[in-house]
Structure 1
Amino acid sequence: MIAPVEVLNEEGQGKVVLLCEHASHRIPSEYGDLGLSEADRLSHAVWDPGARSLALQLSQALDAPVVASTVSRLVYDCNRPPEAASAMPEKSEQIMVPGNTGLTQAQRDARTAAVYDPFCAVVSEVLNKRRADTVIVTVHSFTPVYFGQPRAVELGLLHDEDSRLVDAMLNYVDRIPNRRTERNEPYGPTDGVTHSLRLHALSRNLPNVMLEVRNDLLRTDEEIAVAAEEVLTLLLPALNDIAIKEDKS
C-alpha cells in the first residue's frame, strides 16, 4: 500500500523545508476515479503539474527535505482545513467531481484521517527535528488560463500575515527581468490558499513563502531547471538578508 505522504531527502541539512501538497495525481483505488473523465484525470484540477519536480530541484540545490502528498488534491487538498468545502471540492474550476458530491460527514472525516492528518503529522515530525532558523517554502503550480481568462503573472510569491521572506525576495526581482513576478498572485490569503503557511509556519514564527509557478513554464526538465534557478535567484539572497536581520534583532 502506498503511504499518503512521502519525505524526500529527509536528512537534508539546509535551513529550508519544502512542502508540496499537490504533488500527485494519484487517486487511491478505494475512491474509484471520482467520476472524472479520462481527459480530466491529469488536469491541473487533479494536481499541480511540475510542482513535485520543481520541489526536487530546489531540494537538491538547498539540501532541503521535501514533504509531499502522494494523493490527488481532489481526494483531499492538504492545503485546506477539514472544515473547508474546497478540501474535497465538488467542482474545480469548470471540472465537476461526481465522487465528491454529497459526501457525508463520516466520509469527509475518513478522508481527513486517511490523507490530511498523516500529511500534517509528517510535516510536524520533520519540523520538530529542525534547527531554530528553519524556513518553510511550499511549492505549487497554476494553470495559465483560468475560467477562460489568460493569466499574465508567471511567478507568484504568496504570504499570509508574515511577509518577511516575500518582502526580501521581491527586492531581487530585477535579477530575473524577463519573468513577471508578483506578490499574492494569482491567489492570496483571501482565497484560502495560505492554510499550510498558517498551520505550519506562522504557528512556529518561521519565515515562509508559497511559490506559485505557471505550469506552462514547467513542461520539460529543462524548463523546470530554469524555473528552479530563477526561484533560487530570489530565494538565496533573501534567506541571507532575513538571517542578518534576525541576528541583529
Structure 2
Amino acid sequence: MLSEARAIEWPAAVEVLNESGRSPFVLICEHASNYIPPEYRQLGLHDKELARHIAWDIGAADVTRALSKRLNASAFLGRYSRLLIDLNRPLHVADSIPLRSEATDVPGNLSLDAAERERRQQMIFHPFQDRLRAHLEQRTADGRRNVLVAVHSFTPVYLGQQRSWHAGVLFDKAQALGQGLIAQLSKDPLLNVDANVPYGVSAEADYALVVHGDQLGNPAVLIEIRNDLIADPDGVEVWTAKLEQALRSVESLS
C-alpha cells in the first residue's frame, strides 16, 4: 500500500467518469493530463515546456468530460503526462517513453534501465488499460455495445509545417462509423475535416483503437481536434456541441 503522501504524488492512473452511463459510446482520453510526480523533477523540463502539447493534449480532457455528461457516456481519462509513458502507444515502440517530443529533448527519459521502464508500466500503463478492459468486458457480458471514441488534440503547426485541418477522424476497421462522423461534421462548410489526419492508424503506432477496438470487434475511432480551437471554455463548448450532434447522428452506424 502506498503511504498517504505517496498516494497524493501517485494518484490512480485513470479517472473514470459516469461508469454506469447508458450510452453505447465509451470515451477515452489518454493524454488528458500533464502531471508528473515530483520525484521526476519534471523530467528536466521547464514549466513552459510541460504546458505545451508535448506533455498532453490541450483541451481534450475538457471536451471528453463535457461529452460524457451530454451523451451519458462512460469516460476514461489518463492522469499522467504522456512524457512518462504514452497510453496510446504499444509498449515495444520507441516513443512509448519518448526521448524527444517534436523538437524537444526529454532529459529525464535518457538512459532508463529496464526496472524504471517496468515501474512506469506497472504504475501508469497497465492500470489504465486494465480498468478500461474490465469495463468493456462487463458491458459485453451485460449485452451492451461498446463503441470507442478516443478524444485527442493536435497542434496547428508541427515542425514548421502548417496544418490546415480543423479536425480529423482516425480509424481502420470502423469505416462506416469514421466516414459517417466525417460526413456529419462536414455539413458545416467552414470546417476542414478529413479521414486519418494529421496521423494514420496502425498497430505499431496506436493502442486503444487496435487493442480495445478492432481486435475485439468494437467499433473504434479517434477524433483529433486542432488544439487552438479548444484552448478555452468557449471553444470547448462549441466543439462539444459539434461532436455530440455528430455522434448521435451516427450511433446506428456502429
- TM-score tier after normalising by the smaller chain length: over 0.9
| Counterpart selection for 1:185 from 179, 194, 197 | 197
1:229 to 2:238 alignment: no
1:150 to 2:162 alignment: yes
- SS of the residue corresponding to residue 240 of structure 2 reads helix
Distance 2:250 2:174 in 1: 14
Distance 1:9 1:191 in 2: 29
Matches within 5 A, 1:89-168: 89-130=98-139, 131-168=143-180
Contact residue 159 and residue 194 of structure 1 kept, 8 A:
no
Q: What is the Cα-based RMSD across aligned positions, in Å?
A: 1.5
Deviation for aligned residue 1:191: 9.2
Q: How does the TM-score come out when normalised to structure 1?
A: 0.93
The residue aligned with 1:247 is none
Q: How does the TM-score come out when normalised to structure 2?
A: 0.91
The residue aligned with 1:194 is 206
The residue aligned with 1:5 is 14
Distance 1:53 1:161 in 2: 27
1:23-80 Cα distance to aligned partner (Å, 9 max, x none): 0010012322101122201110000010000001111111011111100000010001
Distance 1:193 1:56 in 2: 25
1:169-220 Cα distance to aligned partner (Å, 9 max, x none): 2232442221110100000125954321001011220111101000000111
1:69 to 2:81 alignment: no
The residue aligned with 2:220 is 208
Contact residue 18 and residue 67 of structure 1 kept, 8 A:
yes
The residue aligned with 1:86 is 95
Q: Percent same amino acid at aligned positions?
A: 36
Cα distance change of structure 1 residues 94 and 191 upon mapping to structure 2, 3 Å threshold: farther
1:12 is matched by which residue type in structure 2? G
Contact residue 90 and residue 206 of structure 2 kept, 8 A:
no
Listed as ranges, the gaps of 5+ residues in structure 2 are 1-6
Contact residue 176 and residue 230 of structure 1 kept, 8 A:
no
Distance 1:194 1:162 in 2: 15
1:60 to 2:69 alignment: yes
Distance 1:89 1:194 in 2: 15
